[in-house]
Amino acid sequence: MDERPYKTEYAKSGRAKCRKCRKILKKGELRLGVWVESNFFDGKTCQWYHLSCFFKNHRPGSIHDIGHYEEMSIEDQKKIHEKLDENKGLFLPDTNEIKKGKRPHSIDEEAAPKNKAIIKDFGVEYAKSGRSTCVECLKNIDENEIRVKKMDYSSDIGKKFGGKPMWHHLECFAAKREDYNFYLGGSQLPGISKLLKGDQKIVADVIPTIDLSPSEVKKIKEDFEEKEEITLG
C-alpha cells in the first residue's frame, strides 16, 4: 500500500462528500484526501476534499507526501503544486523591505507576509477558560490570560479534524516560534486587534519581528526546503 499520508485521484464515483464544504465530489473530479484511523474498523480510511477545500484544512509538506500525484494530468499536478506553494509554512518578513534596510517602527508599518492565507494558522486571544494547557511548558493557561495559537495539521488528531489548535503562553510561543518558522512580529497575529491596546503592545514587545539580513533569509529558506526533502524519506 502507498504509505504516503495524503492521496489524490479523480473521483471514482459521485458519492463521496467533501469533508470541508460537505458538497458532493463529482465523478471524475480532482480530489485530495488524507489517511486517518477509521472509526469503524481497524485500519485507515481516506477522507476526501475538493482541491481548494483540502488546503484549507491540511498542510502537506511537499508533493512527495501526496500519493498518486505523479499519475495526475500535468495540468492538475501544476494546480496542486501551486496550492502547496501558497500554503508553505514559512513566515518571513517581506524581504524587499529588508533589502531597503527599512525596519518597521510601528505595528501598522510591519510588512504583511506573502502567504497571507495561512497566517490564520496562528492567532492570539484571551483564554476563554482556564482549561487549556500550554504545549510548550505543559502548564495550564489561566482564564483571560493572553494565549497564542498555532494550528497543528501533522499529528493524527490534527489530520483527522483538519487542524487542531495548539495553545501557548505568550512567552512560551516566543521561545518556540522559530520551530514554527514564524519570524514575523506578534502584531501580525490574527486576533491582535481584538486585544486591549496595552496588551497589543505587550504581544508586539514579547514577539518582535526577527531582524534578518538577506543572507539569513536565504539560509532559512534553504534549511526549510532541505527539511522538506528529508521528511520525504
* Residues at the contact surface with Zn ion, assessed by CB under 5 A: 18, 20-21, 50, 53, 134, 136-137, 169, 172
State how far the Cα of 152 lies from the Cα of 58, in Å rounded to an integer.
Answer: 9
Task: Kindly state the smallest distance separating residue 119's Cβ from Zn ion, in Å.
Answer: 22
Cβ distance to Zn ion smaller for residue 50 or 177: 50
Cβ distance to Zn ion smaller for residue 137 or 220: 137
Task: Kindly state the smallest distance separating residue 132's Cβ from Zn ion, in Å.
Answer: 10
Cβ distance to Zn ion smaller for residue 10 or 224: 10
Task: Kindly state the smallest distance separating residue 146's Cβ from Zn ion, in Å.
Answer: 11
Cβ distance to Zn ion smaller for residue 134 or 151: 134
Task: Kindly state the smallest distance separating residue 108's Cβ from Zn ion, in Å.
Answer: 29
Task: Kindly state the smallest distance separating residue 215's Cβ from Zn ion, in Å.
Answer: 33
Cβ distance to Zn ion smaller for residue 95 or 140: 140
